[in-house]
Amino acid sequence: MISPPPKGMALLLVLGPGLIWCGEFIGSGEVILAPRAGAILGLGMLWVPVVAIFLKYWIGLAGARYTVCTGEGMIDMLSRTPGPKNWVIWPVFIGQLAMGMIATGALVSSSGAFAAYFFPAIPPYWLGWIILAFILVVTWTGRFGLLKSVMSLLVTLIILGALDAAVATWPGWSAVAAGILGFNVPEIPAWAKSNPKVASTGWAEILPLLGWAAGGFASQVWYTYWVLGAGYGMAKDRGYGRPLEGERLASVTVEEAGHLRGWCGVVTKDATLAMVIGVVVTTGFALAGAGVLAPAQLAPEGPDVPLQISRMFAERWGDFGAHLFVLAGLAALISTLLGQFAGWPRLLADCARLLFPKVAEYSWKVQFRAILILFAFWNALIVFTLGLKPVFLVKLGAVLDGLLLTPLQALAVGWVFYRVMPRFFPAESARLLRPSPIFAVGLALAFLVFGYFCVVQIPSEFTK
């Protein structure tokens, strides 16, 4: 029997997957890319994080509601897209294997740069390796509890500090509204054009932020894993790496479907909370960059990223604030790394299980740890060979993970959500669980908008 969802104040006790999702994507996109974009492009770019987060919200929410109703994650969901067997999973597996290594390598490199602020005598790539080893141990053992609590506190501090800097340099509601609703691509200012490490066009600075605001393709998949872990609806006691149970879904009664519908409401509130937090925080970082870094004509880049970005705190809180900002920024990057090292092996293990049936003969833990070791090796290699280039690596990872597969993800999720999922249930139960048309609108917009970026803007920037 499917348990009924909590109501009233009890609802607050089960909200959580969205906060994990939010904590995972509040990392390099917010700490590095948003202040940099705000510093270079000013308030005219405020629409970027709002649009990106709002459109990805529909992908993540639709996938999470599917998980609530069926008990399987998004990779299994994507495998049910009509057509040749696993035709969606192959590009996801190949793409995410490469993108995941680059994206996590970017964060390890960035973490090394932030750690070098406190330990200047130690080579930054050594610090990156130390952090990588620490992340590997934590994810291998699964002992996240105390560390996540400390990280959450420091991440909260950096969020409050960025919002404080944004409020202190507040340009007025009309200017903010114009930036959010203007949808224009600002010109690169004269002071930034003289910097060889600043792109020549606004799109080159905007595309990475579009990619990693609210995380990339993988983040939307991981949200379904966090819902599985929370045990919402049909996900209760399911665990990871298991497809849905067709016979069980075919026997779902109208009463149980009503309970599942209630759990869908819970996950909607959970995801909406994450979306609001993401919009406010990312916009706050961009405002802080425009208000503090732009007047100083700073575009954070290279090993000086922590020192340059710390000015957002130093302007208000002095040297103590600057030190605290860098420490909290390091915590945000490590927190994101923990989420990525917990999420990407799950995603790739699901892909491998579907593409290579013999993989399923091994336990989920063996699959997870094998990919974890592979990730650690390639991260160490990336940090050593590419050196300390946090902004370059973060921007590359953001475009690869955040934009290239997102249109396909929106299309496949929408098709399975509307056309495939109803077939799992008896007719009356399927009617109760039928998704609202608003999801079709949101997913269609995500497909069209991100498709435009992939087909038009990315090739345009790479051919210049």
CB distance 108 to 382 below 8 Å:
yes
> What rounded mean pLDDT belongs to the chain?
84
Mean per-residue pLDDT, 189-196: 84
Contact 93, 356 (CB under 8 A): no
Of 226, 229, 246, residue with least CA distance to 238: 229
pLDDT given at position 140: 86
Q: Find all residues with CB under 8 Å of 236, minimum gap 6, and list them.
A: 2, 3, 71
Distance between CA atoms of 396 and 404, rounded to whole angstroms?
11
Taking the C-alpha atoms of residue 180 and residue 412, their distance in angstroms, rounded to an integer, is: 29
**271-275, 358-362, 447-451: which has the minimum mean pLDDT?**
358-362
pLDDT digits (tens, 9 = 90+) for 53-63: 999 999 999 99
pLDDT for res 77: 97
- Supply the pLDDT for residue 374: 82
Ordered structural domains, the chain, with CATH: 8-462 (1.20.1740.10)
- The C-alpha angle with vertex 441 and arms to 208 and 217, in degrees rounded to 5, equals 30
pLDDT of 389 > 60? The answer is no
| Cα angle 100, 135, 344; round to 5 | 25
Which of 300-304, 322-326, 415-419 has the highest mean predicted lDDT (pLDDT)?
415-419
Residue of 343 and 354 predicted with greater confidence: 354
The single-letter code of the amino acid at 197 is K
Contact 106, 390 (CB under 8 A): yes
Amino acid 110 reads S
Q: What is the pLDDT of residues 170-182, one digit of tens each?
A: 999 999 999 999 9
Per-residue confidence at 335, pLDDT binned at 50, 70, 90?
confident
Neighbours of 90 (CB within 10 A): 14
CA distance 170 to 291: 7
In this prediction, residue 385 has a pLDDT band, given cuts at 50, 70 and 90, of low
Instruction: Give per-residue pLDDT as tens, 290-305.
Output: 888 888 888 877 556 6
Look at residue 452 and tell me whether its pLDDT is greater than 80.
yes
Mean pLDDT computed over 158-169: 78
pTM: 0.89
pLDDT greater at residue 2 or residue 248: 248
> What value does the mean pLDDT take over residues 111-129?
85
Tell me the C-alpha distance between 303 and 204, whole Å. 21
Place of tokens 């809180």: 317
Mean pLDDT of 379-404: 65
- 234 three-class SS: helix
Q: Which amino acid is at 388?
A: L
How far CA 348 is from CA of 215, 374, 422, in Å, comes to 17, 11, 27
pLDDT category of residue 26 using cuts at 50, 70 and 90? low
The pLDDT, as a whole number, for residue 391 is: 58
Q: Check if the beta carbon of residue 15 is closer than 8 Å to that of residue 269.
A: yes
Cβ proximity of 259 and 5 under 8 Å: yes
Query: Within 13 A of 94's CA, how many CA atoms are on the CB side?
Result: 6
Position 197 pLDDT exceeds 90: no
For residues 189 and 180, give the distance between their C-alpha atoms in angstroms, rounded to a whole number.
19
Q: Report how far apart, in Å, the C-alpha atoms of 373 and of each of 132, 255, 378, 402, 429 are.
A: 11, 45, 9, 24, 43
**Share of residues in the chain with pLDDT > 70 (%):** 86
